[in-house]
Each structure stands twice: as structure tokens, then as C-alpha cells.
């Protein structure tokens, strides 16, 4: 899946990729992202090697 959407949200300071993912998912639901789009992001973050890579994935979908 190739998601080109950008989400408007503020990543939480500190914490790990899973706490950031929780916040990201809530924001994506508020912006009416589809379940498939959200699940794709979840899979990417869960499969990341570490928190830094997982957070980088979330930031790549963040509107600046």
C-alpha cells in the first residue's frame, strides 16, 4: 500500500513508539483515515527495528 496522506497531530514528547502509535491512531481516526491505512501504519511501526525507527515512520506521515 502506498499511503501519501499526511496527518495533522503532535507526536508526544518522550515515550516509545507504541505510546506514540496510540496517539497517532486516535488522530488518524479523527481525520477519517480508513482502517486499512491505519493498519498499514501499525504494521510498519510494530515491525520497526527499534523505537527510533518506529517514531521516524510516524513522523514521515506527519504534516509539517
B/e letters for 27-43, b = 16+ CB within 10 Å, e = fewer, are bbeeeebeeebbebbee
pTM summary value: 0.90
> Above 80 in pLDDT, residue 2?
no
pLDDT digits (tens, 9 = 90+) for 10-49: 988 888 999 999 999 999 999 999 999 999 999 999 999 9
Amino acid at each position: 500500500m502506498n499511503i501519501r496522506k499526511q496527518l495533522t497531530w503532535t507526536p508526544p514528547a518522550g515515550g516509545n513508539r507504541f505510546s506514540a502509535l496510540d496517539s497517532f491512531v486516535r488522530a488518524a481516526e479523527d481525520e477519517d483515515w480508513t482502517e486499512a491505512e491505519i493498519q498499514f501504519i501499525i504494521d510498519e511501526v510494530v515491525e520497526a527495528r527499534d523505537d527510533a525507527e518506529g517514531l521516524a515512520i510516524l513522523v514521515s506521515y506527519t504534516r509539517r
